[in-house]
Amino acid sequence: MKTKALFTGSFDPLTSGHLNIIERAAKVFDELTVGIIINPQKKCLFTLEEREEMIAEVVAPLGNVSVTHFSGLLADFVNENGYNVILRGLRDSKDFEYEMEMAQMNARLFNEGVETVFFMTKPEYAYISSTTMKEVCSLGGCIDGLVPESILEKMKAAYNK
Ligand code: ADP
């Protein structure tokens, strides 16, 4: 059976921590889709279209990675589209506590055979979050290497830095 994995998140914006998870997962699973969660309550720096475009550009060289978006219940999207792996990244015990609860709830809702799989962050990316990247960049701090180059340029433009 083909492994069809979905890596979910807000990705506002995608960071080097996210990209590292994607690059590693692309070698493990047959197909990987980056699924942007549409959350109208969350105020984002980049529009959904901008995030989708930025991610598509960065993952293009990988070959088996695509980008999509969804709203509503994750389990409905997963079951309706035949994904058999949900991928999430873990940075620390805070992530673990939150993710365990979500994974156990989702396990009840997913079709038979769908598994949530966790990849541990590479240690040098453990402190990177989209929120911290936006905060530091907005104040003119250097985040070189912590977000992909093409995304860094768009962040600097958004903050006039
Ligand atoms: P969400 O708002 O759903 O947490 P994020 O875009 O912040 O969305 O994160 C998406 C996924 O990527 C989550 O599983 C998160 O734990 C993981 N992640 C975020 N930053 C990193 C990082 N630096 N290293 C590894 N995984 C990460």
Give ligand 1 pocket residues (Cβ under 6 A).
9-11, 15, 17-18, 21, 88-89, 91, 95, 121, 125, 128-130
* Protein residue with least CA distance to atom 5, ligand 1: 9
Give the DSSP letter of residue 14: -
Q: What is the pTM of this model?
A: 0.96
Q: Is 91 labeled as catalytic in the residue annotation?
A: yes
DSSP string across 67-109: EEEE-S-HHHHHHHHT--EEEEEE-SHHHHHHHHHHHHHHHHH
Please give the distance, rounded to the nearest whole angstrom, from the Cα atom of residue 76 to the centre of ligand 1: 21
pLDDT (tens place) for every residue of the chain, 161 residues total: 899 999 999 999 999 999 999 999 999 999 999 999 999 899 999 999 999 999 999 999 999 999 999 999 999 999 999 999 999 999 999 999 999 999 999 999 999 999 999 999 999 999 999 999 999 999 999 999 999 999 999 999 999 98
Please give the distance, rounded to the nearest whole angstrom, from the Cα atom of residue 139 to the centre of ligand 1: 22
Q: Is 69 labeled as catalytic in the residue annotation?
A: no
pLDDT the model gives residue 93: 96
* Protein residue with least CA distance to atom 16, ligand 1: 89
Measured at the CA of 73, the angle between CA 80 and CA 50, to 5 degrees, comes to: 90
Angstrom distance (rounded) from CA 81 to CA 111 = 11
Residue closest to 34 by CA, chosen among 75, 86, 80, 73: 86
Burial of 62 (0-12, 13-18, 19+ CB in 10 A): middle
Catalytic residue among 24, 91, 122, 156: 91
